[in-house]
Structure 1
Amino acid sequence: MSSSSPTPEKTSGLTSALLGPIKLSEQIIERVLFHKRLPVLLIFVLMTLWLGFQAVQIRPDASFVKMIPTSHPYVENYLKYRDDLSGLGNSLRVVVEAKEGDIFTAKFQDTLKQVTDEAFFIPGVDRSALKSIWTPNVRWTEVTEEGFEGGPVISPEYDGSAASLNQLRTNVLRSGQVGILVANDFKSAIIQMPLFDKDPSTGEKLNYQAFSGKVEELIRQKYENEDIRIRITGFAKIIGDLIDGAKSVALFFAIAIGITLVLLYLYSGSVTGTLIPIGCSLVAVVWQMGLLKTLGYGLDPYSMLVPFLVFAIGVSHGVQVVNTIRLEQSEGADPWLAARRAFRAIYIPGLTALLSDGLGFVTLMVIDIQVIQDLAVAASVGVAVIVLTNLLLLPLLMSYVGVGDKAIAKMHASQNKASSRWEVLTVFAKPRGAAIAVAFALLALAAGLYGSQNLKIGDLDKGAPELRADSRYNLDNAFVTDHYSTSSDIFVVMATTARDKCTSFATLSMVDNLQQFLTNVPGIQNSVSLVDVSKRVTSGLNEGNLKWRSVSRNQYVINASLAYVPSGFMNGSCSLLPVIIFLDDHKAETLERVSTAIASFAAEHNSEELKFEMAAGNSGFEAATNDVIGTAQYEMLAWVYGVVSILCLLTFRSIKTVICIIAPLALTSVLCQALMAYLGIGVKVATLPVIALGVGIGVDYGIYIYSRLSTYLLEGKPLPEAYLATLKTTGSSVAFTGLTLAIGVVLWLFSPIKFQADMGVLLTFMFLWNMLGALILLPALACLLHKREVVQAEENLHV
């Protein structure tokens, strides 16, 4: 095959358009790195100490606004009317439940009052909008012979006596809060706690970990006892529980490091070749954390797994460096020369792979959700430091100690063994085996495309899907759903008018039409608005006659019915009238159905005088997020594969080579989407980045294997022989890395955080399939795309 081997222009990065500057940088760095070892090492030590000091100061950083796409029309509408929609954005619900009896006992009411007072003084709570039956903004009304009467649900005369408790029961029934602030079975009551995005006392972003901790300490731990059970739901509690679950993330990270340590020693046979790559990968994580803190970033709960991915990428590159040093030392080089040659061999493919990783992660920035953009920054910073810690620091340290005699003997025996267990894989570098591998890949692609058709956007489960179904939060959320008429899944439509026009007959009648229209939309429990207030009072003004329970055409009657309006049903200028819609759940299909229905109604009935604009409420924000993710997921994949393909093309100058490297990654992405559909994992903020992260790790395998393979091809070896030589060196490293990392993350299945367990499944799958793709599909594609050369090689072998 030597006479007809793929040309250097097609197989080697040596002819890359980037050769000049990259090769020059390689030569400069090599001279400095290996001739000024002590000063360079001192710089690394000082940087590690300084960034380590920064890293220990990094704190969890979560924000409600970061979780939503602020440029989406829904969110823009909410932000425009934000001050008029108090309590319809980020809020917490605290449920006080009587384990025995009902809420109409002096002891229960005393506890409810204390919890309400406690909630009022927690920093970050919007006190003006706090609601419970003990707050003065929750009132009752009734019509008497003298006219309307009303007052706070808890009257000033309340003293805990039997008479005052009976009066309280009457007031609750007259307040319309049954099913809202009071359970339908009268066994529990809710305290609604709207939250600020910034702590009013400090002006800083609300610290959700600290806030959740205060709620636990000051409310649940303080007031839950043998008679009272406290339940808490809301975004702040989800984030708090996720941050608390970071302890399990750290535990599984430590377990993964331990597994990698043991397996790497068994693979390399070298203590230094085990400890130094693991140490450099951990240094990369420390540098990443330190740089993020220096740049003003925290660590978001949805970015908690990024440090492990940085560690995984670092190990992947570190194993390649150590394996190359073993090979060089087995051929007689001393540690210094072996490390230098390894650096020279690894620098260009390693830099190409890391550039592909980093730029691939940067493509996540196209998604207009800050938490994903922050994750992109964290991952990109991590990849950038790996260039320094694993491509520079690692060979520098190894130049002092080498891999040891045991590792050299093990490599020597492996290279000179008459037969190798890797020979079985060379069948895929021959036409028949290659055809079988590609045919299987095409079948897998077809199955993946078919399965991924059922992939859904957004949450597919009730409650908080990031947490286990039996987690305390999801059990609390299920309790609220089962015992109250209004779910925690709220979608708000904003009816906007000219100033002082929100109470006109034309406005109220059209809003009434919207609410009637919504009763026929599956997934909607009920809705409330100013219309319901007007209808109820108008009926009361007419002796409770149900025939009068409608929007009156007489403006004077409407005005009389709205003499007192509870807070939250209109703004001060009477130009905004929110319609609060309670949903069965926040599943993606429910949100899409509701959004589509409201959009069609708005398109038909919007006018200059009245417009229906979406959306506020936690479900409204989630609908906006799903919309952005549904559009961005394919845009992100296009950018990821586009960037990686261009870098591979510039490096190898061959479209065929690009196909060999990218095709296995694309197959893995499709199969991963099918797996998500099969397991019921939706594409959402927590899961969308994993595909890009998987591509970033997988491209390393392909680049290293093809770089080594092209080197042997340039030496004139036929493809099967060149591939066997590749398998004995780089291929074994790829197989080891893929299996080791998969074993490390598969243990995440046992995490109490479902988000981490889901990531464990997906990353395990991607690690393994990327490895198999690089070891099986890559040589098969190379064989078929260079079929003429392979046939000629086989003929030469027979001669």
Structure 2
Amino acid sequence: MKNSSVTHHIAHPLDDSEAVVERWVFRHRAVLLLLFLGLSIWLGLQALQLRPQASFEKMIPTGHAYIQNYLAHQSDLKGLGNAVRIVVETTEGDIFTPEFQDILRQVHDEVFYIHGVDRGSLKSLWSAAVRWQEVTEQGFAGGPVIPPSYDGSSRSIEQLKSNTFKSGQIGSLVANNLKSAVIYAPLYDRDPDTGEALDYTRFSADLERLVRDKYQSDTVRIRITGFAKVVGDLIEGLAQVVLFFAAAVAITTILLYRYCRCLKSTLIAVFCSIAAVVWLLGLLNVLQIGLDPYSMLVPFLVFAIGVSHAVQILNAITHEAAKGASRLKAAQRAFRALYVAGLVALVSDGVGFATLMVIEIAVIQDLALAASIGIAAIILTNLVLLSILISYSGMSQGSVQRLKAVEARDRQPVWEGLSAFARKPLAGVSVVLAVLMFGAGLYLSQGLKIGDLDPGAPELRPDSTYNRDIAFITANYATSTDLFVVMIKTSAQQCSAYEVLDKVDQLEWRLVQLPGVQSTFSLADFSKLYMSAMNEGHPKLKGLNRNQSMMDAASIKAPVGLFNGSCSLLPVLVYLDDHKAATLESVVAAVDDFAHEHDTDSFQVLQAAGNAGIEAATNIVIAQSQNTMLLWVYGVVTTLVLLTFRSLRAAICIMVPLALTSVLCQVLMVYLGIGVKVATLPVIALGVGIGVDYGIYIYSRLEALLKTGMGLQQAYFITLKTTGKAVAFTGFTLAIGVGTWYFSPIKFQADMGVLLTFMFLWNMLGALTLLPALAHFLLKPAKREVNESVAQSSAVNTLPSEQRACA
């Protein structure tokens, strides 16, 4: 009786129950097709107008206390935020020649007129604000390092050399070996006239065209560093990213054709997945969000997720066609069987990505929004549009006949072998191995670091032009490019008070004891130099003087930038060997301890400015947000799975493999020396979003077969021949496509390629091996009993009955 009931449902799947969504979609398929066509054209035109963009403010956690301190005093800290350094190096002799100085002056003038440069804060030997000072018998003497009378003569060159040594710029604006000089150019984040964000693409191109290309020669080398140049290089490398994306699309297309052996359905599936990317890019332009270098992987993820769902639909349609269904009926039945599971998977993806919004860094929030928009596009393009297009084109007879031949084989060793994970002893072995790997992973992942683990810009290869330029500055200048600024806030007109400067001096002494700190400089240091200078340079008198008049006199002679106009804020400049996480953590901890000991109403120690200070704040936010983000991702996705399957056992079967992959991915990051930062933090969340698709599809198909009375292993064997085969193909195909990123000249993309390849494969393996093993132990005994007669009857025509159960 039970068998006949099953057979009846198989024979009449559409007559017994009608799905409202499926009926509505296919009843209006012509209208929907025209609507999708018009929408694709419009969004395609919008996508063509999208331009890569980046913002310094979007890269930093503006809500963090350190950044708020910096922004509140930004006007008093000219040049201590977003800036570039242009190094002009001579390969012949030193910088004290008329020829070199002429080149340096021309480069200075070129940089002065580049759009985006804060001209009032531009510094080089040719800046009037860069001055020399000395104590003479008549008192203090000084002036610009390069005086108005400079004419390139031997006498002028000797005067320039003397002034340079007296200026204290050796190691800062002039190299220790006197073979190069720096032009330091602070930047506006927004154009003061238009309010528009700085165009980093244009700015970086201007630096290359107007400076490096124009002045670099056999005798002169140009080196450029700074956030703007990093972003510019990443955007410039976007063309190569597009090439790798195209390679991934080509690889996916070839493998998809070999999988389904139907050219028209392959092209339709790829077209729908690319359409989702086009919709995403078009919507980003409409919403004026933009696409920055750190979210460049989102379009590929959207394409990958689209292909994943397309493969499931093509697989289901081919099975229906093999049973004799017409083009329209095959598409209808496949859509009815899969749209619920597909919709749940995609909603889980979108909501999971949206949880990245808890990280208060605008660039990550933009990435989360972009990924969520892409998922919304996939729901329409790869669930609805794909099914409609296939209902017109159908599957080729070659594809259908090939499937029939495969299904007719007596033995299918791969699927039979994998189905053994649904019963003892392999189920037990799989679970035990998973527990051991999870425990080992948790232990090893404790070595995961927050922030950059390498000097230079880790987004670029170590041998990139930018990182070679950074290495040159580090090797040839006493003051590195990694600057941490501590802000000392006092009462008005009290920044030069002895008590204040004494505390600042104590803070500097603590900081210079730390490994990774090169040197420090502040008004306290200048005041000590002033005291020594006032006493014929006697080294024993190089100290702070309790005579307040003397301290006030020293502050009057201090260079611009050592305190603000109201003498209520003075920066302490801390030059670091690098911006590695450990270096920044030690500096932050030391300053925090000092502030805890010495802060009063009239003396406050505030962190932090400078590129290293801003990065320290970013690392703190990421460290605080990392676990919160993961809890939100897993909490939201688990809740959606629970609401869909209404079973805690189902949620465990689907989510545990994802959790194992996340932990192992963190271990891989430790092994590869990849820190958790703005560029890498979203990867784990995105990996969960992709992986949950595999589990939902497999469990949905498995549950449908179990409801017919099948035993677990038999049901899983049939699941593997349909959904499991598609999951395995998707995992391998996407891993191969993204694996090509390893050869990208952009290290950030190469790292993402390695991590995503790992997550594609492990999520696939977890869904195919660990999920059935957990099901063996967690599903109710009644569902694990093998009813051979029902199993044999259901095996003849499982897919329609399963589709009806899913619907």
What is the aligned partner in structure 1 of residue 490 from structure 2? Answer: 497
What is the aligned partner in structure 2 of residue 549 from structure 1? Answer: 542
What is the aligned partner in structure 2 of residue 392 from structure 1? Answer: 384
Q: Secondary structure at the match of 1:793?
A: coil
What is the aligned partner in structure 2 of residue 60 from structure 1? Answer: 52
Q: Quick one: distance in 2 between partners of 1:67 and 1:786?
A: 47
What is the aligned partner in structure 1 of residue 317 from structure 2? Answer: 325
Q: Is residue 2:87 matched to residue 1:82? A: no
Q: Is the 8 A contact 1:179 1:484 kept in 2?
A: yes
Q: Is residue 2:329 matched to residue 1:351? A: no
Which deviations, in whole Å up to 9, do the C-alpha atoms of 1:663-683 show, x marking residues without a partner? 000000000000001110000
Q: Is residue 2:276 matched to residue 1:260? A: no
Q: Is the 8 A contact 1:123 1:201 kept in 2?
A: no
The equivalent position to 1:209 in structure 2, one of 187, 195, 201, is 201
Report the Cα offset of residue 794 of structure 1: 7.8
The equivalent position to 2:475 in structure 1, one of 482, 488, 494, is 482
Q: Is residue 2:456 matched to residue 1:463? A: yes
Which deviations, in whole Å up to 9, do the C-alpha atoms of 1:217-259 show, x marking residues without a partner? 1111111011100000000000000001111110110000000
Matches within 5 A, 1:403-442: 403-420=395-412, 421-442=414-435
Q: Is residue 2:564 matched to residue 1:571? A: yes
What is the aligned partner in structure 1 of residue 709 from structure 2? Answer: 716
Q: Is the 8 A contact 2:269 2:307 kept in 1?
A: yes
What is the aligned partner in structure 2 of residue 754 from structure 1? Answer: 747
Q: Secondary structure at the match of 2:786?
A: helix
The equivalent position to 1:184 in structure 2, one of 164, 176, 192, is 176
What is the aligned partner in structure 2 of residue 281 from structure 1? Answer: 273
The equivalent position to 2:646 in structure 1, one of 653, 656, 660, is 653
Report the Cα offset of residue 795 of structure 1: 9.1
Report the Cα offset of residue 522 of structure 1: 1.5
What is the aligned partner in structure 1 of residue 8 from structure 2? Answer: none
Q: Quick one: distance in 2 between partners of 1:94 and 1:791?
A: 70
Report the Cα offset of residue 433 of structure 1: 1.2
Q: Quick one: distance in 1 between partners of 2:339 and 2:748?
A: 36
Which deviations, in whole Å up to 9, do the C-alpha atoms of 1:495-534 show, x marking residues without a partner? 0011111111111111111111212122111100111221
Q: Quick one: distance in 2 between partners of 1:701 and 1:647?
A: 15
Q: Is residue 2:163 matched to residue 1:171? A: yes
Deviates most, 430-439 or 694-703:
430-439
Q: Is the 8 A contact 2:335 2:383 kept in 1?
A: yes
Q: Quick one: distance in 1 between partners of 2:782 and 2:576?
A: 64
Q: Quick one: distance in 1 between partners of 2:92 and 2:376?
A: 59
What is the aligned partner in structure 2 of residue 606 from structure 1? Answer: 599
Q: Secondary structure at the match of 2:415?
A: helix
Amino acid paired to 1:504 = A
Report the Cα offset of residue 28 of structure 1: 4.1
What is the aligned partner in structure 2 of residue 119 from structure 1? Answer: 111
Report the Cα offset of residue 427 of structure 1: 0.7
Report the Cα offset of residue 438 of structure 1: 0.7
Q: Is residue 2:450 matched to residue 1:451? A: no
Q: Is the 8 A contact 2:29 2:388 kept in 1?
A: yes
What is the aligned partner in structure 2 of residue 16 from structure 1? Answer: none
Q: Secondary structure at the match of 1:232?
A: strand
After superposition, the Cα gap between the structure-2 partners of 1:415 and 1:798, relative to the gap in structure 1 and judged at 3 Å, is closer
Which sections of structure 1, spanning at least 5 residues, go unmatched? Answer: 4-23
Q: After the TM superposition, which segments of 4 or more aligned residues of structure 1 sit over 4 Å from their partners? A: 794-799
The equivalent position to 2:90 in structure 1, one of 98, 112, 116, is 98
Q: Quick one: distance in 2 between partners of 1:37 and 1:426?
A: 38
Deviates most, 193-202 or 335-344:
193-202
After superposition, the Cα gap between the structure-2 partners of 1:346 and 1:790, relative to the gap in structure 1 and judged at 3 Å, is closer
What is the aligned partner in structure 2 of residue 539 from structure 1? Answer: 532
Q: Is the 8 A contact 1:783 1:790 kept in 2?
A: no
Q: Quick one: distance in 1 between partners of 2:490 and 2:222?
A: 41
Q: Quick one: distance in 2 between partners of 1:620 and 1:557?
A: 32
The equivalent position to 1:619 in structure 2, one of 591, 595, 612, is 612
Q: Is residue 2:367 matched to residue 1:375? A: yes
Q: Quick one: distance in 2 between partners of 1:566 and 1:700?
A: 61
Report the Cα offset of residue 786 of structure 1: 2.6
Which sections of structure 2, spanning at least 5 residues, go unmatched? Answer: 4-16, 793-807
Q: Is the 8 A contact 2:702 2:716 kept in 1?
A: yes
Q: Quick one: distance in 2 between partners of 1:689 and 1:33?
A: 35
Q: Quick one: distance in 2 between partners of 1:494 and 1:598?
A: 10
Amino acid paired to 1:45 = L
Q: Quick one: distance in 1 between partners of 2:353 and 2:220?
A: 48
The equivalent position to 2:39 in structure 1, one of 42, 47, 55, is 47
What is the aligned partner in structure 2 of residue 523 from structure 1? Answer: 516
- TM normalised by structure 2 equals 0.95
The equivalent position to 1:299 in structure 2, one of 275, 291, 296, is 291
Residue identity (%): 58
Q: Quick one: distance in 1 between partners of 2:427 and 2:114?
A: 66
Amino acid paired to 1:294 = V
Report the Cα offset of residue 787 of structure 1: 6.5
What is the aligned partner in structure 1 of residue 555 from structure 2? Answer: 562
The equivalent position to 1:270 in structure 2, one of 252, 262, 270, is 262
Report the Cα offset of residue 474 of structure 1: 0.2
Q: Is the 8 A contact 2:490 2:603 kept in 1?
A: yes
Q: Is the 8 A contact 1:431 1:784 kept in 2?
A: no
Q: Is residue 2:705 matched to residue 1:692? A: no
What is the aligned partner in structure 1 of residue 801 from structure 2? Answer: none
Which deviations, in whole Å up to 9, do the C-alpha atoms of 1:696-744 show, x marking residues without a partner? 0000000000111111111111111111111111000000000000000
Q: Is the 8 A contact 2:709 2:791 kept in 1?
A: no
Q: Quick one: distance in 1 between partners of 2:230 and 2:784?
A: 61
Report the Cα offset of residue 626 of structure 1: 0.6
Q: Is residue 2:639 matched to residue 1:637? A: no
Q: Is residue 2:699 matched to residue 1:706? A: yes
Q: Is the 8 A contact 1:96 1:230 kept in 2?
A: yes
Amino acid paired to 2:682 = P
Q: Quick one: distance in 2 between partners of 1:641 and 1:72?
A: 25
Deviates most, 528-537 or 490-499:
528-537
Q: Secondary structure at the match of 2:183?
A: strand
Q: Quick one: distance in 2 between partners of 1:344 and 1:562?
A: 79
Report the Cα offset of residue 202 of structure 1: 2.9
After superposition, the Cα gap between the structure-2 partners of 1:707 and 1:797, relative to the gap in structure 1 and judged at 3 Å, is closer
Amino acid paired to 1:570 = F
Amino acid paired to 1:748 = W
Amino acid paired to 2:711 = P
Which deviations, in whole Å up to 9, do the C-alpha atoms of 1:99-145 show, x marking residues without a partner? 11100000000000000111111111111110001000100000001
User: How many residues are treated as equivalent by the alignment?
Assistant: 779
Q: Is the 8 A contact 1:428 1:434 kept in 2?
A: yes
The equivalent position to 1:668 in structure 2, one of 657, 661, 665, is 661
Deviates most, 392-401 or 532-541:
532-541
Q: Quick one: distance in 1 between partners of 2:676 and 2:233?
A: 21
Which deviations, in whole Å up to 9, do the C-alpha atoms of 1:437-458 show, x marking residues without a partner? 1111112112211210110000
Deviates most, 231-240 or 439-448:
439-448
Q: Quick one: distance in 2 between partners of 1:795 and 1:392?
A: 37
Which deviations, in whole Å up to 9, do the C-alpha atoms of 1:524-571 show, x marking residues without a partner? 111001112211122111111112211111111112222222111110
Amino acid paired to 2:667 = A
Q: Is the 8 A contact 1:366 1:636 kept in 2?
A: yes
Report the Cα offset of residue 791 of structure 1: 5.9
Which deviations, in whole Å up to 9, do the C-alpha atoms of 1:312-368 show, x marking residues without a partner? 000000000111000100001011111011110111000000000000000000001
Q: Is the 8 A contact 1:414 1:728 kept in 2?
A: no
